[in-house]
Amino acid sequence: MSTSAEEWLARGIWFSELERYEEALAAYEQGLQLDPDLLPGWVLKGNLLSELERYEEALVAYDHALDLESNEAELWLFKGDALGSLARYEEALQTSERALTLDPTDPMAWQLKAATLAVLDRPEEALAAYERALALDPDEAESWAGKGDALMRLERPEEALEAFGRALTLDPQEVSAWEGKGEALAALGKPEEALLAFDEALRLEPEDNDALIGKGEALSDLDRHEEALGYFNRALKSGEQDDVWAWIGKATALAELERHKEALAAFDRAQSLQPELEDIWLGRALSLLKLESYDESFVAVEHLLQLDTSDPSVWLLRGDVCVQRKDYKRALTSYNRAIELDPDTAWAWVGKAACLRLLGRYQQADRAERHARKLGVIIRH
C-alpha cells in the first residue's frame, strides 16, 4: 500500500523529534512531491530549514506556502524571521507589517517589527512596538528584554534596568536580559553589580560573545585590565573575529597596560571594521601620542574633530598633541576651546597656563594656574 502525502509529513515530524533532520527533510519532500499544494508540508519544511540555519532554502519554502495561503499572518512571521536572519531587515520589516495588517492583535508580529526596527537603529519606533507587544502579552520575557535594549539605545538606563528585571522575573534563563542588565548597571556606574550580571549570563552560555565583551568592559571599569584583556581575547577566539567592540575593548585594555604598540594594532583592526567610529580614532590618537608619533596623532585628532567638535576631551587631547609638536599657539587655541565647552576641564587650564608661559604671557599664565588650583589640581614648578 502506497504512503500518502500526509503520512510522509507525519514521518517527517517523527524524524525531526528524533533530531534526524535530513531524513525529516526527505520525508517532507516526498510528501510535497505527492501533493505540491499541501500547505503544512511547505511550512514544516521551511521551519526545519530555518532551525538548521538554511534560511535561503527556508524562504523558498515559505514563499510556496504564501502562494497557497497569503492571508495567514503566521506565515508572514515565519518569512520575516528568515529574512531577519539573512540581515535583510527592510524586507523583514515589510513582512512584519503585512502580518500586522492581517492580525493587529498578534504580539509576536509586534515583537518581530520591534526587533527589526531596533536593528535598523530606529529605537524610538522599536520601543513603541515593544510596548504594543507587551500590552497584548505582558508575560513575554523576550519583549521585556527587547524593550530594555531600546531604552538603553535611548540612554535611559534606569528604565532599561527595570525592563530587564521584568524579563528575568518571567524567565531567569533569558541570557540577553542578563547581558542587558549588566550593560544598564555599568551605564549607571555600578560595575561590581554589572560584573555579577555578566557572570550569570556566562553561567548560562559560557561562550556568549556579548557577555564576554560586557564582562571585559566591567572589569576595565574596575581597573582590572589584565583580566579584562583575557575576556576580550576569549570573545575574539569564540569565532567573532569581526566584532568591532571586542577589538576596541582589547585595544583599550592594552593601552591602559601601557602596551601601546599592541593597542595600536588592535585599534587598526577595529578601524578596518568600522572606519568612522569615534572611539577608535580617539584610542588611536592617544596611543600614537604615547608612542611619540606626534604628527600621526595630530592627524587622528583632526579626523576625530571632523566627526564631533563638541567633546572637550578631544580638544584637550589636541592641545596636548600640539604641545609635543611645539605648536604652542594652536595648543592654546585647543585648550581654550576645551574650556569654552566645559569650564571645569581642569587639565585644560593646566595646559593653557603652560602654553601661556611658553609664549611669554606670564600674568595670564598665573591666572590660568590659579583657576586650575581652584579645580583641585596641584601645580609644582
Position 378 scores a pLDDT of 75
Higher-pLDDT residue of 73 and 376 is: 73
Position 1 scores a pLDDT of 47
Per-residue pLDDT averaged across 279-286, rounded?
96
Residue with cell 526545519: 48
Q: Which of 319, 375, 363, 316 is nearest to 341 (CA)?
A: 316
Residue with cell 523583514: 92
Cell of 196: 555579577
Q: What is the pLDDT of residues 188-237, one digit of tens each?
A: 999 999 999 999 999 999 999 999 999 999 999 999 999 999 999 999 99
Q: Work out the pLDDT band at 381, boundaries 50, 70, 90.
A: low
Is the pLDDT confidence value at 247 over 70?
yes
Domain regions of the chain by residue span? 321-380
How far apart CA 182 and CA 239 sit, in angstroms, is: 22
Q: Work out the pLDDT band at 2, boundaries 50, 70, 90.
A: low
Position 364 scores a pLDDT of 96
Is the pLDDT confidence value at 239 over 80?
no
Q: What is the pLDDT of residues 321-367, one digit of tens each?
A: 999 999 999 999 999 999 999 999 999 999 999 999 999 999 999 99
Position 377 scores a pLDDT of 82
Q: What is the pLDDT of residues 33-65, one digit of tens each?
A: 999 999 999 999 999 999 999 999 999 999 999
Q: What is the pTM of this model?
A: 0.84
Position 18 scores a pLDDT of 92
**Long-range CB contacts (within 8 A, 24+) of 361-365:** none
Position 376 scores a pLDDT of 87
What is the architecture, at CATH level 2, of domain 321-380?
A: Alpha Horseshoe (1.25)
Contacts of 213 (CB under 8 A, 6+ apart): 231, 232, 235, 243, 245, 246, 249
Q: What is the pLDDT of residues 142-189, one digit of tens each?
A: 999 999 999 999 999 999 999 999 999 999 999 999 999 999 999 999
Position 171 scores a pLDDT of 97
How far apart CA 315 and CA 30 sit, in angstroms, is: 69
Q: Work out the pLDDT band at 242, boundaries 50, 70, 90.
A: confident
Q: What is the pLDDT of residues 289-330, one digit of tens each?
A: 999 999 999 999 999 999 999 999 999 999 999 999 999 999
Give the number of other Cβ atoms within 10 Å of residue 372's Cβ. Answer: 22
